[in-house]
Amino acid sequence: MRLKFTKIILMLAVAGMVSACGNKTEKSPDKMVRTGIQRIMTEDNQFNFSGSYQTEFIIQNNENKSSSEITEPITASEVSASEEYDDDTSELTEYHRKQMDLYNKSIGQFLGQFGKSFSVPFTGAVDIKKGVMEVIPEVRYEDKNVLISFKFPTYLDFNNLSLYLDGSAITHLSDTMPNNKMVIGDKYMQFAVPQDKAQHIPVADLLKSLPKSVDDGYASIAPSAFKKVNVDEFGKTLEAKYQVNLNTDYASSLKYNTVLLQSLSKALKETAAKADKNNKYKPEDYALLGNIIDALASIYSDSDNALADTPMGAYLEQLKNKSNLMVNNFYFDSKGRIIGVRFKTDLPMAITGMEEPKGTIRIDYKVRMDYTGSPKFTMQPTPQNSINIGARLGW
């Protein structure tokens, strides 16, 4: 009797442990994403990463009548308008139309082939505890009998507000040009905020507020937009345990950016209010940075689009009129950590300034994280192996 009772107790204890573990990982999809992102920013914030950025050009093709390729159908008004011309003009117009169709077809074929051969694979490292980050993008074109590749290692140091660039892929050649007044050699190019300005920018306080502000942004998205789905092929290469899909539209993206920036602004104001006379930064330092953030927030929240007459405003306006979905997939390991992300969306080609040919640009961005605890950096910039470009140019 005692033995049976002991077995029952053990079974209940094991069941309780399994249940507790299950409750830890089996959160609602939105909470999984928000918790995973917070872990990246506050806990598991030392890691290496790798991934790729690819584009596909999908050109409108009315001849084939493929619904996946036709972006804008011909309207009745366009047909009736052409009937107003006389015979000679109609023939000329028809000739020009055929020439334009032929030109657009050629451009479409060129862009299609270019998209298949062009990619930007990248690697990098993040160490938030030390305030540094590295990314090494490779601009790559590869096809039959051809391989063109440029790497541009880039290093961000938030401690001294500097960006370091290894431009040797280009400078090794440009250094030999006649009358070159700035030979780079084997040194990194440093682009730094001048110290007299950097000392008045409370970046450390901004970074401390960033995790909560990012979470506020994701909290503004309806929880129903997050869906737990079966792990796809990319997730399987990561050996992911779970996958959460988040589909957002332009309006949701605007709201996310607005909420995030407003949260940052609010946090800075609260920090400024608590600062005493011994604080490193003055109230006007917080106010200046807060005003910049408020200006950015107003751009995203302004329904009238105050930047309508600018390239960025035109870009935002075009997206506003499109029902484009931004598909985000988050991949998790058994510990609830985000080990990969995939982002896909379609953008109208017109945003590139090309009115013809009509079509869309399909973007596919993939990244995986490797939590090593001691990320490996390729670049180790120092004052001795870097050239301050701004100082050389008198900035």
Segment (H or E) for 363? strand 359-370
| Torsion, CA 177, CA 183, CA 187, CA 189, rounded to 10 | -100
Q: What is the 3-state secondary structure (H, E, C) of 284-341?
A: HHHHHHHHHHHHHHHHHHCCCCCCCCCHHHHHHHHHHCCCCCEEEEEEECCCCCEEEE
d(CA 46, CA 127): 4
308 in a structural domain: no
The whole-number average pLDDT for the span 44-53 is 95
Tens of pLDDT, residues 111-121: 888 889 999 99
Contacts of residue 341, Cβ cutoff 8 Å, sequence gap at least 6: 328, 329, 330, 331, 366, 367
69/205: higher pLDDT: 205
pLDDT band at 125 (very low <50, low <70, confident <90, very high): very high
Take residue 185 and report the two structure tokens written for it: 């050699």
Instruction: Provide the number of structural domains found in the chain.
Output: 1
258 in a structural domain: no
Give strand pairing partners of 150: 139
d(CA 195, CA 207): 19
How many CA atoms does the CB half-sphere of 39 hold within 13 Å?
17
337 in a structural domain: yes
207 in a structural domain: yes
Give the model's pLDDT for residue 151: 96
Give strand pairing partners of 187: none
304 in a structural domain: no
Tell me which DSSP letter residue 225 carries. G
Tens of pLDDT, residues 63-112: 444 333 334 433 333 333 344 445 555 666 877 777 777 777 777 788 88
**Pairing of β 188-192 and β 386-388:** parallel
Tens of pLDDT, residues 10-36: 454 444 444 444 444 568 999 999 999
3-state class of 150 per DSSP? strand
Q: Are 363 and 263 in contact (CB under 8 A)?
A: no
Tens of pLDDT, residues 309-354: 776 666 666 666 666 678 999 999 999 999 999 999 888 776 555 6
- Residue given tokens 């507000």 in the structure block: 161
pLDDT band at 307 (very low <50, low <70, confident <90, very high): low
61 in a structural domain: yes
3-state class of 242 per DSSP? strand
74 in a structural domain: yes
| Torsion, CA 202, CA 208, CA 214, CA 217, rounded to 10 | -70
Contacts of residue 360, Cβ cutoff 8 Å, sequence gap at least 6: 57, 58, 71, 346, 347, 348, 349
pLDDT band at 386 (very low <50, low <70, confident <90, very high): very high
Q: Can the peptide bond before residue 202 be classed as cis, meaning omega within 30 degrees of 0?
A: no
Take residue 322 and report the two structure tokens written for it: 């499109």
pLDDT surpassing 70 at residue 369? yes
Take residue 300 and report the two structure tokens written for it: 């995203």
215 in a structural domain: yes
Give the model's pLDDT for residue 302: 61
pLDDT band at 6 (very low <50, low <70, confident <90, very high): very low
The candidate with the shortest Cα–Cα distance to 318, out of 71, 151, 109, is 71
Give the model's pLDDT for residue 182: 85
pLDDT band at 9 (very low <50, low <70, confident <90, very high): very low
pLDDT band at 265 (very low <50, low <70, confident <90, very high): very high
372/329: higher pLDDT: 329
Q: Are 134 and 378 in contact (CB under 8 A)?
A: yes
d(CA 312, CA 323): 19
The whole-number average pLDDT for the span 191-218 is 92
3-state class of 342 per DSSP? strand
- Domain of residue 120 covers 37-249+324-393
Residue type, 394: G
The whole-number average pLDDT for the span 150-173 is 94
Tens of pLDDT, residues 126-139: 999 999 999 999 99
175/121: higher pLDDT: 121
Q: Are 386 and 187 in contact (CB under 8 A)?
A: yes
Give the model's pLDDT for residue 304: 56
Give the model's pLDDT for residue 179: 84
pLDDT band at 308 (very low <50, low <70, confident <90, very high): low
